[in-house]
Structure 1
Amino acid sequence: MAKTRTAAQIPGRRPRSASKRAAIMNAAEALFVADGYEYTSVDAIAARAEVSKRTLYNHFGDKQALFQAVFERANDALVATVRTAIDQELTEGRDLCDALTAFALRVVTGTFPSSDYVTYRRLTSQGGPASRSPETARNHPDRMIEECFAKLTAGGEMRAVAPRRATQHFTALTVLLALDTLGGDLANTVNKAEIRSIIAAGVDAFLRAYRSPPTSPPAIPEGHPDPRHDAAVGPPARAT
């Protein structure tokens, strides 16, 4: 006798509960972004997701928990994008100026125009409960840059006694200044050369303050011959 397979056992299909949960989150995200947290009702979310209010409450409990789930999904997507940029641009052994410039350019020209960033920014501006949670703060992209600067300082390439403050200075001089230039133009149609110029100038200013100075040769004790002088002068000439 043939056995009937459930939806979870059929390749390419997800359980209906997972599909409904995704539909609820997608509907909630669209409404939170368009109308804001306060003006979005559970009834409207359920209607857009084509589920009952009871199904919505079974999955998320209440509107606040639903907003938190939506916000965390957007935050996770943004964190993953920034993490990839850090891993691929701020690589060990690469010139620090080149690495920071490439990283900032990638964030501005790649991340800002993305739907993930637009969603994250608009949800943050709603002032919903999740955007102020300690867990979200710990997973903020700035924390990853802070960790990177701490490692560079430990390795001797930077002198950032306070990595968090260094991160604030870096983002202000590069990413935020470029964002201010873009204004609402997140489609990034502003002249790319202008953005590159802003970021290059910002990285230069940042490194003037935070780059470790080149290592100086050891001091020669007083009264001892300087081997560098001997090497430059060469051996004494033979008497004729």
Structure 2
Amino acid sequence: MENTENKKIRQGSSEKRAKIIAAARDLFLSDGFDRSSVDAVAARAGVSKRTVYDYYGDKLNLLIAVAEETSEAVLELIKQGISDYLREFENLEQALCLFCEQFVASANGSSDYSALIRLITVEAANLPSSFLEKLDNAAEEELIRRFTEFGQTGLLHVPDPEMAVKHFAALTFLLVFNRPGGTGAVEEAQTKRIITEGVRVFLCAYGQPTVHNED
């Protein structure tokens, strides 16, 4: 009986946390962190103000929790792309292009991605620099691990996998995200061109040189 009761309490706690995070995210995005009160978060979540403080301590910790949960969903997009395209493939250039194209399409269609970018952009002054650094590292971690493996198997020459990932991201999907947005077939073609050319430039720098046999 005791285990059943404890299980119910944990489930109820998890549900309350989810409601608080959802309410806080909505308010932080619509009204801003400074103008959002814990009272307003509690009211929207349907819990007491005391519950919010008990779970998160203060409003800053709540903001960090919102950013962390939102970023987790974005990190899953990267992991999914690696699983889909960078595990088994015949052509590395094509695989890297497909990975970037899927990530861009998934991110553009993700409310979590747009929310994370807005939170980081608007609330950067309220987020600790250590958190932002941790977020950057987490976003790169899976690709660093995979690029390291590519180096070990001879597909890439990556003396510094972390720097290689930064260069790869800057030349491909970050370049797409940082340009003015558009819609339709023209935008899709432009995105594909940016990614394709970016991957080729990356491989010129980090790809293993092709050995030509002379007769």
TM-score of the pair, normalised by structure 2: 0.85
Whether the aligned pair in 1 keeps the contact of 2:86 and 2:96 (CA below 8 Å) is yes
Quick one: which of 43, 50, 69 aligns to 1:73?
A: 69
- Distance in 1 (CA, whole Å) between partners of 2:74 and 2:129 is 14
Shift of 1:213: 1.1
- Distance in 2 (CA, whole Å) between partners of 1:23 and 1:83 is 26
Aligned to 2:135: 136
Quick one: which of 53, 57, 73 aligns to 2:49?
A: 53
- When residues 20 and 202 of structure 1 are mapped into structure 2, their CA distance, relative to the original with a 3 A threshold, is same
- Distance in 1 (CA, whole Å) between partners of 2:111 and 2:146 is 26
Whether the aligned pair in 2 keeps the contact of 1:71 and 1:131 (CA below 8 Å) is no
Quick one: which of 160, 165, 168 aligns to 1:167?
A: 165
Q: Secondary structure at the match of 1:20?
A: helix
Q: What one-letter code is carried by the residue in structure 2 that aligns with 1:205?
A: V
Matched pairs, number: 208
Aligned to 2:155: 157
**Identity score, percent:** 35
- Distance in 2 (CA, whole Å) between partners of 1:104 and 1:198 is 10
Shift of 1:124: 1.3
Shift of 1:19: 2.5
Whether the aligned pair in 2 keeps the contact of 1:130 and 1:136 (CA below 8 Å) is no
Shift of 1:8: 5.4
- Distance in 2 (CA, whole Å) between partners of 1:15 and 1:152 is 42
Structure 1 unaligned residues grouped into runs of 5+: 218-227, 230-240
Q: What is the CA deviation profile of residues 65-104 of structure 1, one whole-angstrom value per residue up to 9, with x for unaligned ones? A: 2112111111111111110101111124431101100011
Q: What one-letter code is carried by the residue in structure 2 that aligns with 1:35?
A: D
Aligned to 2:117: 121
Quick one: which of 64, 68, 88 aligns to 2:84?
A: 88
Q: What is the CA deviation profile of residues 4-46 of structure 1, one whole-angstrom value per residue up to 9, with x for unaligned ones? A: x96956xxx9844333222111100111122332232212211
Higher helix share: 2
- Distance in 1 (CA, whole Å) between partners of 2:191 and 2:134 is 32
Quick one: which of 25, 28, 34 aligns to 2:24?
A: 28
Comparing 130-139 and 143-152, the one that deviates more: 130-139
Q: Secondary structure at the match of 1:147?
A: helix
What is the root-mean-square deviation of aligned Cα atoms in Å?
2.5
Q: Secondary structure at the match of 1:151?
A: helix
Do structure 1's residue 106 and structure 2's residue 105 form an aligned pair? no
- Distance in 1 (CA, whole Å) between partners of 2:198 and 2:212 is 27
- When residues 49 and 55 of structure 1 are mapped into structure 2, their CA distance, relative to the original with a 3 A threshold, is same
Whether the aligned pair in 1 keeps the contact of 2:171 and 2:198 (CA below 8 Å) is yes
- Distance in 2 (CA, whole Å) between partners of 1:146 and 1:15 is 36
Shift of 1:131: 6.5
Aligned to 2:145: 147
- Distance in 1 (CA, whole Å) between partners of 2:42 and 2:129 is 23
Comparing 59-68 and 32-41, the one that deviates more: 32-41
- Distance in 1 (CA, whole Å) between partners of 2:70 and 2:47 is 22
Shift of 1:143: 2.2
Q: What one-letter code is carried by the residue in structure 2 that aligns with 1:136?
A: L
Q: Secondary structure at the match of 1:160?
A: coil
Q: What is the CA deviation profile of residues 49-76 of structure 1, one whole-angstrom value per residue up to 9, with x for unaligned ones? A: 2222112112211112211211111111
- Distance in 1 (CA, whole Å) between partners of 2:148 and 2:12 is 46
Structure 2 unaligned residues grouped into runs of 5+: none
Q: Secondary structure at the match of 1:40?
A: coil
